[in-house]
Structure 1
Amino acid sequence: MSFLPFSALACPLDGDPMHREGQTWRCAAGHSYDIAKQGYTHLLPVQHKRSRDPGDSKEMVAARQRFLDTGHYQPIADAVSRMALADLPAAEVGAEREAVHCLDAGCGDGYYLRQLADAGPQETPFALLGLDISKWAVLSAAKQERSTSQSRASWVVASNAKLPVQGGVLDRVLCLFGFPVYPEFVRALKPGGQLLQADAGPDHLRELREIIYPSLKPERERSEVAPDGLVRRGVETIRYATTLDNVETIVDLLAMTPHLYRASTEGRARVEALDSLTVTVDVRLTRFERLPESD
Protein backbone atom coordinates (compact mmCIF):
# COMPACT_ATOMS: atom_id res chain seq x y z
CA MET A 1 0.00 0.00 0.00
CA SER A 2 1.28 3.48 -0.85
CA PHE A 3 0.34 6.47 1.25
CA LEU A 4 -0.46 10.13 0.68
CA PRO A 5 -0.92 12.80 3.37
CA PHE A 6 -4.55 13.33 4.39
CA SER A 7 -5.18 16.87 3.14
CA ALA A 8 -8.99 17.15 3.26
CA LEU A 9 -9.22 18.60 6.76
CA ALA A 10 -11.85 21.21 7.64
CA CYS A 11 -11.76 23.87 10.32
CA PRO A 12 -13.57 22.62 13.44
CA LEU A 13 -14.91 26.14 14.09
CA ASP A 14 -16.40 27.13 10.73
CA GLY A 15 -16.14 23.99 8.58
CA ASP A 16 -14.06 25.70 5.89
CA PRO A 17 -11.34 23.71 4.10
CA MET A 18 -7.90 24.02 5.64
CA HIS A 19 -4.50 24.02 4.01
CA ARG A 20 -1.14 23.20 5.52
CA GLU A 21 1.64 25.74 5.85
CA GLY A 22 4.70 24.07 7.30
CA GLN A 23 3.67 22.68 10.70
CA THR A 24 0.35 24.58 10.84
CA TRP A 25 -3.12 24.03 9.40
CA ARG A 26 -5.07 27.20 8.49
CA CYS A 27 -8.49 28.06 7.12
CA ALA A 28 -9.48 31.13 5.07
CA ALA A 29 -10.89 32.83 8.17
CA GLY A 30 -7.48 32.75 9.82
CA HIS A 31 -8.04 29.99 12.36
CA SER A 32 -4.81 28.02 12.78
CA TYR A 33 -3.86 24.73 14.41
CA ASP A 34 -0.28 23.63 15.01
CA ILE A 35 0.96 20.11 14.42
CA ALA A 36 2.47 18.91 17.71
CA LYS A 37 6.03 17.66 17.79
CA GLN A 38 4.67 14.15 18.37
CA GLY A 39 2.96 14.31 14.96
CA TYR A 40 -0.73 14.94 15.70
CA THR A 41 -3.03 17.97 15.45
CA HIS A 42 -5.46 19.10 18.16
CA LEU A 43 -8.75 20.01 16.46
CA LEU A 44 -11.10 19.91 19.46
CA PRO A 45 -11.96 23.50 20.48
CA VAL A 46 -12.55 23.98 24.17
CA GLN A 47 -16.19 24.93 23.54
CA HIS A 48 -16.76 21.47 22.03
CA LYS A 49 -15.50 19.65 25.11
CA ARG A 50 -17.90 18.24 27.70
CA SER A 51 -15.13 17.72 30.24
CA ARG A 52 -11.58 18.88 30.83
CA ASP A 53 -10.06 15.57 29.63
CA PRO A 54 -12.67 13.81 27.45
CA GLY A 55 -12.45 10.25 26.20
CA ASP A 56 -10.32 7.39 27.42
CA SER A 57 -7.81 8.10 30.15
CA LYS A 58 -4.06 7.60 29.80
CA GLU A 59 -4.36 4.38 31.81
CA MET A 60 -7.17 2.98 29.64
CA VAL A 61 -5.22 3.72 26.47
CA ALA A 62 -2.12 2.00 27.81
CA ALA A 63 -4.15 -1.05 28.84
CA ARG A 64 -5.79 -1.25 25.41
CA GLN A 65 -2.46 -1.01 23.63
CA ARG A 66 -0.96 -3.80 25.74
CA PHE A 67 -4.00 -6.02 25.21
CA LEU A 68 -4.26 -5.48 21.45
CA ASP A 69 -0.54 -6.14 21.07
CA THR A 70 -1.14 -9.68 22.41
CA GLY A 71 -3.06 -10.53 19.22
CA HIS A 72 -6.27 -11.68 20.89
CA TYR A 73 -8.31 -9.35 18.62
CA GLN A 74 -6.35 -10.08 15.44
CA PRO A 75 -9.33 -11.87 13.79
CA ILE A 76 -11.39 -8.68 14.24
CA ALA A 77 -8.65 -6.58 12.64
CA ASP A 78 -8.39 -9.05 9.76
CA ALA A 79 -12.15 -8.89 9.13
CA VAL A 80 -12.16 -5.08 9.26
CA SER A 81 -9.29 -4.84 6.78
CA ARG A 82 -10.85 -7.39 4.45
CA MET A 83 -14.19 -5.58 4.41
CA ALA A 84 -12.60 -2.13 4.06
CA LEU A 85 -10.51 -3.23 1.08
CA ALA A 86 -13.38 -4.92 -0.75
CA ASP A 87 -15.10 -3.04 -3.59
CA LEU A 88 -12.61 -0.19 -3.68
CA PRO A 89 -13.32 2.50 -6.29
CA ALA A 90 -11.98 1.39 -9.67
CA ALA A 91 -9.55 3.56 -11.56
CA GLU A 92 -10.64 4.77 -14.99
CA VAL A 93 -8.76 3.23 -17.88
CA GLY A 94 -5.60 5.22 -18.54
CA ALA A 95 -6.13 7.47 -15.55
CA GLU A 96 -3.96 7.68 -12.47
CA ARG A 97 -5.56 5.91 -9.54
CA GLU A 98 -6.97 8.37 -7.01
CA ALA A 99 -6.17 7.97 -3.33
CA VAL A 100 -8.67 6.12 -1.17
CA HIS A 101 -9.57 8.38 1.76
CA CYS A 102 -10.28 6.49 4.97
CA LEU A 103 -11.19 7.83 8.42
CA ASP A 104 -11.04 5.79 11.62
CA ALA A 105 -13.57 7.66 13.77
CA GLY A 106 -12.63 6.76 17.33
CA CYS A 107 -9.26 5.30 16.42
CA GLY A 108 -7.93 4.71 19.94
CA ASP A 109 -4.23 3.98 19.74
CA GLY A 110 -4.51 3.37 15.98
CA TYR A 111 -4.37 -0.45 16.08
CA TYR A 112 -7.01 -1.13 13.42
CA LEU A 113 -5.78 1.61 11.09
CA ARG A 114 -2.23 0.24 11.28
CA GLN A 115 -3.53 -3.23 10.50
CA LEU A 116 -5.38 -1.84 7.48
CA ALA A 117 -2.23 -0.08 6.30
CA ASP A 118 -0.34 -3.38 6.47
CA ALA A 119 -3.02 -5.24 4.52
CA GLY A 120 -3.69 -2.90 1.60
CA PRO A 121 -2.66 -3.48 -2.03
CA GLN A 122 0.59 -1.87 -3.14
CA GLU A 123 -0.91 -0.34 -6.29
CA THR A 124 -3.58 1.67 -4.45
CA PRO A 125 -2.64 4.96 -2.73
CA PHE A 126 -4.36 5.60 0.59
CA ALA A 127 -4.87 8.78 2.62
CA LEU A 128 -5.53 7.65 6.20
CA LEU A 129 -6.82 9.72 9.10
CA GLY A 130 -7.18 8.56 12.69
CA LEU A 131 -9.43 10.61 14.97
CA ASP A 132 -10.23 10.30 18.64
CA ILE A 133 -11.59 12.60 21.32
CA SER A 134 -8.98 11.32 23.77
CA LYS A 135 -5.69 13.17 23.49
CA TRP A 136 -3.99 10.22 25.19
CA ALA A 137 -5.22 7.84 22.50
CA VAL A 138 -4.11 10.09 19.65
CA LEU A 139 -0.76 10.72 21.32
CA SER A 140 -0.20 6.97 21.58
CA ALA A 141 -1.19 6.45 17.94
CA ALA A 142 1.09 9.24 16.72
CA LYS A 143 4.05 7.99 18.76
CA GLN A 144 3.68 4.48 17.35
CA GLU A 145 3.40 5.89 13.83
CA ARG A 146 6.63 7.87 14.26
CA SER A 147 8.43 4.67 15.25
CA THR A 148 7.83 3.19 11.77
CA SER A 149 10.02 3.77 8.74
CA GLN A 150 7.20 5.41 6.75
CA SER A 151 4.53 7.95 7.69
CA ARG A 152 1.27 6.25 6.78
CA ALA A 153 -1.52 8.10 8.61
CA SER A 154 -2.43 11.50 10.01
CA TRP A 155 -3.80 11.81 13.55
CA VAL A 156 -6.13 14.38 15.08
CA VAL A 157 -7.82 15.01 18.41
CA ALA A 158 -11.44 15.74 17.51
CA SER A 159 -15.03 14.63 18.01
CA ASN A 160 -17.30 12.47 15.87
CA ALA A 161 -20.02 15.02 16.63
CA LYS A 162 -18.22 17.54 14.43
CA LEU A 163 -15.74 15.85 12.14
CA PRO A 164 -12.96 18.19 10.97
CA VAL A 165 -13.24 16.66 7.50
CA GLN A 166 -14.49 18.24 4.29
CA GLY A 167 -17.82 17.03 2.93
CA GLY A 168 -18.05 14.21 0.39
CA VAL A 169 -14.37 13.20 0.47
CA LEU A 170 -14.27 9.86 2.30
CA ASP A 171 -14.36 6.44 0.66
CA ARG A 172 -14.38 4.60 3.99
CA VAL A 173 -15.28 5.40 7.59
CA LEU A 174 -14.42 2.94 10.35
CA CYS A 175 -16.36 3.19 13.61
CA LEU A 176 -15.16 0.28 15.72
CA PHE A 177 -16.73 -0.07 19.17
CA GLY A 178 -17.18 3.69 19.13
CA PHE A 179 -19.93 6.31 19.10
CA PRO A 180 -21.38 6.69 15.60
CA VAL A 181 -22.72 10.07 14.57
CA TYR A 182 -24.46 9.11 11.36
CA PRO A 183 -25.30 12.59 9.99
CA GLU A 184 -21.62 13.52 10.19
CA PHE A 185 -20.54 10.24 8.59
CA VAL A 186 -23.04 10.73 5.76
CA ARG A 187 -21.87 14.31 5.24
CA ALA A 188 -18.21 13.31 4.98
CA LEU A 189 -18.68 10.17 2.84
CA LYS A 190 -18.72 10.21 -0.92
CA PRO A 191 -21.88 8.80 -2.53
CA GLY A 192 -21.10 5.09 -2.66
CA GLY A 193 -18.60 5.41 0.19
CA GLN A 194 -18.90 2.88 3.00
CA LEU A 195 -19.20 2.95 6.77
CA LEU A 196 -17.90 -0.13 8.61
CA GLN A 197 -19.27 -0.35 12.13
CA ALA A 198 -18.19 -2.90 14.74
CA ASP A 199 -20.39 -3.53 17.76
CA ALA A 200 -20.30 -6.05 20.59
CA GLY A 201 -22.62 -9.03 20.07
CA PRO A 202 -24.78 -10.52 22.83
CA ASP A 203 -22.11 -12.98 23.97
CA HIS A 204 -19.12 -10.66 23.71
CA LEU A 205 -16.89 -11.18 26.77
CA ARG A 206 -19.75 -12.99 28.48
CA GLU A 207 -17.44 -14.96 30.78
CA LEU A 208 -15.79 -11.76 32.03
CA ARG A 209 -19.14 -10.08 32.55
CA GLU A 210 -20.46 -13.08 34.50
CA ILE A 211 -17.59 -12.67 36.94
CA ILE A 212 -17.95 -8.94 37.58
CA TYR A 213 -21.76 -8.59 37.63
CA PRO A 214 -24.31 -10.34 39.89
CA SER A 215 -26.46 -10.95 36.80
CA LEU A 216 -26.40 -9.98 33.14
CA LYS A 217 -29.00 -7.63 31.73
CA PRO A 218 -30.98 -8.84 28.70
CA GLU A 219 -29.56 -7.57 25.43
CA ARG A 220 -31.46 -4.73 23.83
CA GLU A 221 -32.90 -5.46 20.42
CA ARG A 222 -30.92 -3.85 17.63
CA SER A 223 -32.69 -1.78 15.03
CA GLU A 224 -32.55 -3.21 11.53
CA VAL A 225 -33.42 0.17 10.02
CA ALA A 226 -30.45 1.82 8.34
CA PRO A 227 -29.68 5.41 9.40
CA ASP A 228 -30.84 8.18 7.06
CA GLY A 229 -28.62 8.50 4.02
CA LEU A 230 -27.23 4.97 4.34
CA VAL A 231 -28.22 1.53 3.14
CA ARG A 232 -27.17 -1.68 4.88
CA ARG A 233 -25.02 -3.87 2.61
CA GLY A 234 -24.23 -6.78 4.90
CA VAL A 235 -23.34 -7.99 8.38
CA GLU A 236 -20.49 -10.32 9.32
CA THR A 237 -20.23 -12.02 12.71
CA ILE A 238 -16.76 -12.59 14.13
CA ARG A 239 -17.07 -15.18 16.89
CA TYR A 240 -14.38 -17.26 18.57
CA ALA A 241 -12.97 -18.20 21.97
CA THR A 242 -9.61 -16.97 23.19
CA THR A 243 -7.71 -17.82 26.37
CA LEU A 244 -6.05 -15.10 28.42
CA ASP A 245 -3.28 -16.93 30.26
CA ASN A 246 -2.12 -14.37 32.82
CA VAL A 247 -3.70 -11.91 35.20
CA GLU A 248 -2.05 -8.91 33.56
CA THR A 249 -3.83 -9.53 30.24
CA ILE A 250 -7.14 -10.20 32.00
CA VAL A 251 -6.87 -6.94 33.96
CA ASP A 252 -5.90 -5.04 30.80
CA LEU A 253 -9.00 -6.37 29.03
CA LEU A 254 -11.21 -5.17 31.87
CA ALA A 255 -9.41 -1.82 32.02
CA MET A 256 -9.97 -1.08 28.33
CA THR A 257 -13.74 -1.56 28.53
CA PRO A 258 -16.58 0.44 30.13
CA HIS A 259 -17.03 -2.53 32.51
CA LEU A 260 -14.11 -1.20 34.57
CA TYR A 261 -16.28 1.66 35.82
CA ARG A 262 -19.52 -0.32 36.02
CA ALA A 263 -18.10 -3.20 38.07
CA SER A 264 -18.24 -3.20 41.84
CA THR A 265 -15.12 -3.34 43.97
CA GLU A 266 -15.88 -6.98 44.67
CA GLY A 267 -16.29 -7.74 40.97
CA ARG A 268 -12.95 -6.18 40.09
CA ALA A 269 -11.30 -8.12 42.93
CA ARG A 270 -12.64 -11.41 41.52
CA VAL A 271 -11.11 -10.56 38.16
CA GLU A 272 -7.75 -9.68 39.70
CA ALA A 273 -7.68 -13.05 41.47
CA LEU A 274 -7.75 -15.00 38.18
CA ASP A 275 -4.67 -16.47 36.57
CA SER A 276 -6.40 -17.50 33.31
CA LEU A 277 -9.74 -16.94 31.60
CA THR A 278 -11.26 -18.13 28.35
CA VAL A 279 -13.63 -15.54 26.89
CA THR A 280 -15.97 -15.47 23.93
CA VAL A 281 -15.35 -12.79 21.33
CA ASP A 282 -18.64 -11.96 19.60
CA VAL A 283 -18.61 -8.97 17.27
CA ARG A 284 -21.02 -7.72 14.59
CA LEU A 285 -19.34 -5.94 11.69
CA THR A 286 -21.92 -4.05 9.63
CA ARG A 287 -21.26 -2.47 6.23
CA PHE A 288 -23.34 0.55 5.23
CA GLU A 289 -23.16 2.40 1.93
CA ARG A 290 -23.74 6.13 1.44
CA LEU A 291 -26.73 6.69 -0.82
CA PRO A 292 -26.41 8.95 -3.89
CA GLU A 293 -27.58 12.51 -3.60
CA SER A 294 -31.28 12.79 -4.42
CA ASP A 295 -32.21 15.00 -7.35
Structure 2
Amino acid sequence: MVPLNVQPTYLCPLCKAPLCAGEATMVCPKGHGFDRAKEGYINLLPVQKKRSKDPGDNKEMMKARRLFLESGAYQKLSDRLGELVLGLPVKPNRILDLGCGEGYYTHRLQQGLAKAGIQPQFYGLDISRAALKSAAKRYQQIHFCVASSFETPFETAFFDLIMRIYAPSKAEELKRLVKPGGYLLTASAGPMHHFAVKKRIYDTPRLHEDKEEQIDGFELVSSERLQWQLDMDTPELILAFLEMTPYAWKFTPEARRQLASEPFSCELDFRINLQRRML
Protein backbone atom coordinates (compact mmCIF):
# COMPACT_ATOMS: atom_id res chain seq x y z
CA MET A 1 0.00 0.00 0.00
CA VAL A 2 1.06 3.62 -0.56
CA PRO A 3 2.35 5.09 2.73
CA LEU A 4 0.14 7.71 4.31
CA ASN A 5 2.99 10.21 4.34
CA VAL A 6 3.25 10.25 0.54
CA GLN A 7 1.85 13.65 -0.40
CA PRO A 8 -0.45 13.89 -3.42
CA THR A 9 0.41 16.24 -6.28
CA TYR A 10 -2.24 18.71 -7.45
CA LEU A 11 -2.52 21.94 -9.41
CA CYS A 12 -4.47 24.94 -8.17
CA PRO A 13 -7.86 24.92 -9.95
CA LEU A 14 -7.81 28.72 -10.12
CA CYS A 15 -4.34 29.56 -11.44
CA LYS A 16 -2.89 26.12 -12.37
CA ALA A 17 0.18 26.59 -10.17
CA PRO A 18 1.38 23.62 -8.07
CA LEU A 19 -0.23 23.23 -4.67
CA CYS A 20 1.99 22.68 -1.65
CA ALA A 21 0.62 20.27 0.93
CA GLY A 22 0.31 21.08 4.59
CA GLU A 23 -1.35 19.05 7.33
CA ALA A 24 -4.82 20.46 6.72
CA THR A 25 -4.51 22.86 3.77
CA MET A 26 -2.98 22.95 0.30
CA VAL A 27 -1.80 26.36 -0.91
CA CYS A 28 -0.39 27.64 -4.21
CA PRO A 29 2.25 30.39 -4.59
CA LYS A 30 -0.50 32.96 -5.23
CA GLY A 31 -2.12 32.19 -1.91
CA HIS A 32 -5.14 30.20 -3.10
CA GLY A 33 -5.87 27.72 -0.32
CA PHE A 34 -7.92 24.53 -0.19
CA ASP A 35 -8.76 22.70 3.02
CA ARG A 36 -8.51 18.98 3.42
CA ALA A 37 -11.72 17.50 4.83
CA LYS A 38 -11.54 15.52 8.06
CA GLU A 39 -12.23 12.37 6.02
CA GLY A 40 -9.05 12.99 4.02
CA TYR A 41 -10.21 14.19 0.59
CA ILE A 42 -9.52 17.67 -0.77
CA ASN A 43 -12.11 19.83 -2.48
CA LEU A 44 -10.64 21.35 -5.66
CA LEU A 45 -13.94 22.42 -7.21
CA PRO A 46 -14.25 26.19 -6.63
CA VAL A 47 -17.72 27.63 -6.13
CA GLN A 48 -17.49 29.65 -9.33
CA LYS A 49 -16.97 26.43 -11.33
CA LYS A 50 -19.97 24.57 -9.92
CA ARG A 51 -23.14 24.23 -11.99
CA SER A 52 -25.21 23.56 -8.88
CA LYS A 53 -24.85 23.92 -5.13
CA ASP A 54 -23.90 20.28 -4.57
CA PRO A 55 -23.17 18.60 -7.94
CA GLY A 56 -22.97 14.87 -8.51
CA ASP A 57 -24.67 11.99 -6.76
CA ASN A 58 -26.20 12.75 -3.37
CA LYS A 59 -25.88 10.83 -0.09
CA GLU A 60 -28.91 8.61 -0.71
CA MET A 61 -27.65 7.60 -4.15
CA MET A 62 -24.23 6.82 -2.67
CA LYS A 63 -25.74 4.59 0.01
CA ALA A 64 -27.67 2.66 -2.63
CA ARG A 65 -24.58 2.33 -4.82
CA ARG A 66 -22.45 1.07 -1.94
CA LEU A 67 -25.07 -1.49 -0.88
CA PHE A 68 -25.37 -2.76 -4.45
CA LEU A 69 -21.66 -2.89 -5.27
CA GLU A 70 -20.67 -4.48 -1.98
CA SER A 71 -23.11 -7.30 -2.70
CA GLY A 72 -20.64 -8.39 -5.40
CA ALA A 73 -23.15 -7.83 -8.19
CA TYR A 74 -20.61 -6.07 -10.43
CA GLN A 75 -17.52 -7.93 -9.24
CA LYS A 76 -17.06 -9.62 -12.62
CA LEU A 77 -16.52 -6.20 -14.18
CA SER A 78 -14.06 -5.19 -11.48
CA ASP A 79 -12.16 -8.46 -11.83
CA ARG A 80 -11.88 -8.12 -15.61
CA LEU A 81 -10.59 -4.56 -15.36
CA GLY A 82 -7.98 -5.76 -12.89
CA GLU A 83 -6.90 -8.56 -15.23
CA LEU A 84 -6.39 -6.09 -18.07
CA VAL A 85 -4.26 -3.82 -15.88
CA LEU A 86 -2.17 -6.75 -14.65
CA GLY A 87 -1.63 -7.72 -18.29
CA LEU A 88 -0.10 -4.39 -19.30
CA PRO A 89 3.51 -4.69 -20.55
CA VAL A 90 4.65 -1.86 -18.25
CA LYS A 91 3.34 -1.60 -14.71
CA PRO A 92 1.84 1.82 -13.94
CA ASN A 93 3.30 4.11 -11.27
CA ARG A 94 0.36 6.53 -11.09
CA ILE A 95 -3.27 5.57 -11.65
CA LEU A 96 -6.36 7.79 -11.76
CA ASP A 97 -9.92 6.52 -11.38
CA LEU A 98 -11.80 9.26 -13.21
CA GLY A 99 -15.32 9.56 -11.82
CA CYS A 100 -14.49 7.18 -8.98
CA GLY A 101 -17.73 7.59 -7.03
CA GLU A 102 -17.55 5.95 -3.62
CA GLY A 103 -14.24 4.24 -4.55
CA TYR A 104 -15.37 0.63 -5.02
CA TYR A 105 -13.51 0.00 -8.30
CA THR A 106 -10.52 2.10 -7.22
CA HIS A 107 -10.05 0.09 -4.06
CA ARG A 108 -10.54 -3.30 -5.70
CA LEU A 109 -7.97 -2.47 -8.39
CA GLN A 110 -5.54 -1.30 -5.72
CA GLN A 111 -6.04 -4.53 -3.79
CA GLY A 112 -5.56 -6.68 -6.88
CA LEU A 113 -2.33 -4.94 -7.86
CA ALA A 114 -1.01 -5.08 -4.30
CA LYS A 115 -1.49 -8.86 -4.26
CA ALA A 116 0.71 -8.98 -7.37
CA GLY A 117 3.36 -6.84 -5.66
CA ILE A 118 2.49 -3.68 -7.63
CA GLN A 119 1.99 -0.54 -5.53
CA PRO A 120 1.36 2.57 -7.64
CA GLN A 121 0.04 5.84 -6.33
CA PHE A 122 -3.74 5.83 -6.66
CA TYR A 123 -5.90 8.89 -7.24
CA GLY A 124 -9.68 9.07 -7.30
CA LEU A 125 -11.57 12.06 -8.71
CA ASP A 126 -15.29 12.75 -8.62
CA ILE A 127 -17.55 15.78 -8.70
CA SER A 128 -19.68 14.44 -5.82
CA ARG A 129 -18.57 15.52 -2.36
CA ALA A 130 -20.91 12.96 -0.79
CA ALA A 131 -19.23 10.17 -2.74
CA LEU A 132 -15.71 11.20 -1.78
CA LYS A 133 -16.60 11.73 1.85
CA SER A 134 -17.51 8.05 1.93
CA ALA A 135 -14.56 6.93 -0.21
CA ALA A 136 -11.85 8.83 1.67
CA LYS A 137 -13.10 7.67 5.03
CA ARG A 138 -12.87 4.01 4.04
CA TYR A 139 -9.88 3.93 1.69
CA GLN A 140 -7.22 6.04 3.33
CA GLN A 141 -4.37 4.89 1.11
CA ILE A 142 -5.94 6.51 -1.98
CA HIS A 143 -5.72 10.22 -2.77
CA PHE A 144 -9.24 11.53 -3.40
CA CYS A 145 -10.23 14.96 -4.70
CA VAL A 146 -13.50 16.68 -5.59
CA ALA A 147 -13.03 18.13 -9.06
CA SER A 148 -14.48 18.18 -12.55
CA SER A 149 -13.49 15.41 -14.96
CA PHE A 150 -13.49 18.04 -17.72
CA GLU A 151 -10.87 20.22 -16.01
CA THR A 152 -8.75 18.12 -13.69
CA PRO A 153 -6.17 19.46 -11.18
CA PHE A 154 -3.23 17.43 -12.48
CA GLU A 155 -0.09 18.16 -14.48
CA THR A 156 0.17 17.18 -18.14
CA ALA A 157 1.27 13.56 -18.72
CA PHE A 158 0.91 12.83 -15.01
CA PHE A 159 -0.67 9.37 -15.22
CA ASP A 160 0.47 6.02 -16.57
CA LEU A 161 -3.11 4.76 -16.49
CA ILE A 162 -6.57 6.29 -16.31
CA MET A 163 -9.56 4.07 -15.55
CA ARG A 164 -12.92 5.56 -16.52
CA ILE A 165 -16.15 3.71 -15.79
CA TYR A 166 -19.14 5.54 -17.27
CA ALA A 167 -17.74 8.95 -16.29
CA PRO A 168 -18.12 11.81 -18.79
CA SER A 169 -14.92 13.47 -19.93
CA LYS A 170 -13.25 15.46 -22.71
CA ALA A 171 -11.01 13.71 -25.19
CA GLU A 172 -8.55 16.61 -24.99
CA GLU A 173 -8.25 16.27 -21.22
CA LEU A 174 -7.67 12.52 -21.40
CA LYS A 175 -4.97 13.07 -24.01
CA ARG A 176 -3.37 15.71 -21.80
CA LEU A 177 -3.34 13.59 -18.64
CA VAL A 178 -1.99 10.27 -19.94
CA LYS A 179 1.73 10.18 -20.57
CA PRO A 180 2.94 8.89 -23.96
CA GLY A 181 2.92 5.12 -23.83
CA GLY A 182 0.39 5.15 -21.00
CA TYR A 183 -3.09 3.64 -21.09
CA LEU A 184 -6.77 4.54 -20.91
CA LEU A 185 -9.12 1.79 -19.71
CA THR A 186 -12.83 2.51 -20.13
CA ALA A 187 -16.06 0.66 -19.39
CA SER A 188 -19.38 1.76 -20.84
CA ALA A 189 -22.83 0.30 -21.50
CA GLY A 190 -23.05 -2.43 -24.12
CA PRO A 191 -26.13 -2.94 -26.35
CA MET A 192 -28.17 -5.09 -23.93
CA HIS A 193 -27.22 -3.33 -20.71
CA HIS A 194 -30.21 -3.06 -18.31
CA PHE A 195 -32.62 -4.12 -21.06
CA ALA A 196 -35.06 -5.67 -18.60
CA VAL A 197 -35.38 -2.29 -16.88
CA LYS A 198 -35.99 -0.58 -20.21
CA LYS A 199 -38.80 -3.04 -20.97
CA ARG A 200 -40.55 -1.88 -17.80
CA ILE A 201 -40.49 1.72 -19.08
CA TYR A 202 -40.72 1.79 -22.87
CA ASP A 203 -43.12 0.12 -25.29
CA THR A 204 -40.28 -0.38 -27.76
CA PRO A 205 -36.99 -0.30 -25.84
CA ARG A 206 -33.87 0.37 -27.88
CA LEU A 207 -30.44 -1.17 -27.58
CA HIS A 208 -27.52 0.97 -26.48
CA GLU A 209 -25.20 2.03 -29.28
CA ASP A 210 -22.17 -0.26 -29.32
CA LYS A 211 -18.93 1.40 -30.26
CA GLU A 212 -15.22 0.85 -29.95
CA GLU A 213 -14.45 4.35 -28.77
CA GLN A 214 -11.48 5.84 -30.58
CA ILE A 215 -9.94 8.94 -29.00
CA ASP A 216 -7.53 11.18 -30.87
CA GLY A 217 -3.98 10.59 -29.69
CA PHE A 218 -4.71 6.99 -28.61
CA GLU A 219 -4.52 3.67 -30.40
CA LEU A 220 -6.96 0.88 -29.62
CA VAL A 221 -5.25 -2.09 -27.98
CA SER A 222 -8.31 -4.22 -27.28
CA SER A 223 -12.09 -4.01 -27.18
CA GLU A 224 -14.44 -6.59 -25.71
CA ARG A 225 -17.94 -7.13 -24.37
CA LEU A 226 -18.50 -8.55 -20.91
CA GLN A 227 -22.01 -9.93 -20.40
CA TRP A 228 -23.90 -11.86 -17.74
CA GLN A 229 -27.36 -12.13 -16.23
CA LEU A 230 -27.85 -10.55 -12.82
CA ASP A 231 -30.43 -12.28 -10.61
CA MET A 232 -31.69 -10.36 -7.56
CA ASP A 233 -34.11 -11.72 -4.98
CA THR A 234 -34.25 -9.15 -2.16
CA PRO A 235 -36.19 -5.85 -2.27
CA GLU A 236 -33.22 -3.95 -0.83
CA LEU A 237 -30.85 -5.09 -3.57
CA ILE A 238 -33.40 -4.55 -6.36
CA LEU A 239 -34.15 -1.00 -5.21
CA ALA A 240 -30.44 -0.23 -4.78
CA PHE A 241 -29.83 -1.51 -8.30
CA LEU A 242 -32.62 0.66 -9.69
CA GLU A 243 -31.17 3.72 -7.93
CA MET A 244 -27.87 3.10 -9.73
CA THR A 245 -29.45 3.19 -13.17
CA PRO A 246 -30.25 6.35 -15.13
CA TYR A 247 -33.87 5.18 -15.28
CA ALA A 248 -34.73 5.43 -11.57
CA TRP A 249 -36.53 8.76 -11.97
CA LYS A 250 -38.93 7.18 -14.49
CA PHE A 251 -40.38 4.85 -11.85
CA THR A 252 -43.27 5.99 -9.68
CA PRO A 253 -43.29 4.83 -6.01
CA GLU A 254 -45.86 2.22 -6.93
CA ALA A 255 -43.76 0.98 -9.87
CA ARG A 256 -40.73 0.72 -7.56
CA ARG A 257 -42.68 -1.35 -5.05
CA GLN A 258 -43.93 -3.61 -7.81
CA LEU A 259 -40.42 -4.12 -9.22
CA ALA A 260 -39.07 -5.05 -5.78
CA SER A 261 -41.96 -7.33 -4.85
CA GLU A 262 -40.53 -10.40 -6.58
CA PRO A 263 -37.16 -11.69 -7.85
CA PHE A 264 -35.82 -9.65 -10.76
CA SER A 265 -33.35 -10.65 -13.45
CA CYS A 266 -31.56 -8.15 -15.66
CA GLU A 267 -28.99 -8.20 -18.45
CA LEU A 268 -25.56 -6.70 -17.75
CA ASP A 269 -23.55 -5.80 -20.81
CA PHE A 270 -20.32 -3.78 -20.74
CA ARG A 271 -18.06 -2.57 -23.52
CA ILE A 272 -14.46 -2.48 -22.26
CA ASN A 273 -11.88 -0.60 -24.30
CA LEU A 274 -8.14 -0.44 -23.65
CA GLN A 275 -6.29 2.32 -25.50
CA ARG A 276 -2.64 3.30 -25.55
CA ARG A 277 -1.42 6.90 -25.68
CA MET A 278 0.64 7.36 -28.80
CA LEU A 279 4.29 8.32 -28.44
State the TM-score, normalizing by the size of structure 2.
0.92
Is residue 138–residue 157 contact of structure 1 (8 Å, CA) maintained in 2? yes
**What's 2:272 paired with?**
285
Separation in structure 1 between the aligned mates of residue 7 and residue 266 of structure 2, nearest angstrom: 38
How much has 1:192 moved relative to structure 2? 1.0
SS of residue paired to 1:179: coil
**What's 1:106 paired with?**
99
Question: Aligned pair in 2 of structure 1 residues 83, 226: CA closer, same or farther (>3 Å)?
Answer: same
**What's 1:163 paired with?**
152
Q: Which of 249, 255, 259 is the aligned partner of 2:237?
A: 249
Is residue 3–residue 126 contact of structure 1 (8 Å, CA) maintained in 2? no
How much has 1:275 moved relative to structure 2? 2.1
Question: Aligned pair in 2 of structure 1 residues 254, 46: CA closer, same or farther (>3 Å)?
Answer: same
Name the count of aligned residue pairs: 277
Unaligned runs of at least 5 residues, structure 1: 91-98, 146-150
Is residue 213–residue 267 contact of structure 1 (8 Å, CA) maintained in 2? no
Question: Aligned pair in 2 of structure 1 residues 241, 218: CA closer, same or farther (>3 Å)?
Answer: closer
Give matches, 1:109-128, under 5 Å.
Answer: 109-121=102-114, 123-128=117-122
For 1:72, give the aligned amino acid.
Answer: A
Question: Aligned pair in 2 of structure 1 residues 201, 32: CA closer, same or farther (>3 Å)?
Answer: same
How much has 1:263 moved relative to structure 2? 3.9
Deviates further, 209-218 or 191-200 = 209-218
Is residue 25–residue 34 contact of structure 2 (8 Å, CA) maintained in 1? yes
Deviates further, 201-210 or 263-272 = 263-272
Asked if residue 29 in structure 1 is aligned to residue 30 in structure 2, the reply is yes
Is residue 8–residue 143 contact of structure 2 (8 Å, CA) maintained in 1? no
Residues 237-286 of structure 1: per-residue CA shift (max 9 Å, x gap): 211112111111111001112111244566434323x3211222111111
Question: Aligned pair in 2 of structure 1 residues 259, 181: CA closer, same or farther (>3 Å)?
Answer: same
How much has 1:217 moved relative to structure 2? 2.7
**What's 1:43 paired with?**
44
Separation in structure 2 between the aligned mates of residue 2 and residue 85 of structure 1, nearest angstrom: 18
SS of residue paired to 1:211: helix
Question: Aligned pair in 2 of structure 1 residues 165, 262: CA closer, same or farther (>3 Å)?
Answer: farther
SS of residue paired to 1:125: coil
Asked if residue 230 in structure 1 is aligned to residue 218 in structure 2, the reply is yes
TM superposition outliers: structure 1 runs of 4+ over 6 Å: none
Separation in structure 1 between the aligned mates of residue 124 and residue 89 of structure 2, nearest angstrom: 19
Give the aligned CA root-mean-square deviation in angstroms. Answer: 2.0
Is residue 2–residue 124 contact of structure 1 (8 Å, CA) maintained in 2? no
Is residue 128–residue 146 contact of structure 2 (8 Å, CA) maintained in 1? yes
For 2:263, give the aligned amino acid.
Answer: S
For 2:109, give the aligned amino acid.
Answer: L
How much has 1:177 moved relative to structure 2? 1.5
Give matches, 1:54-133, under 5 Å.
Answer: 54-87=55-88, 89=90, 100-121=93-114, 123-133=117-127
How much has 1:9 moved relative to structure 2? 1.2
How much identity, in percent, do the aligned residues show?
A: 34
How much has 1:2 moved relative to structure 2? 4.8
Separation in structure 2 between the aligned mates of residue 280 and residue 220 of structure 1, nearest angstrom: 15
Separation in structure 2 between the aligned mates of residue 27 and residue 253 of structure 1, nearest angstrom: 42
How much has 1:157 moved relative to structure 2? 0.7
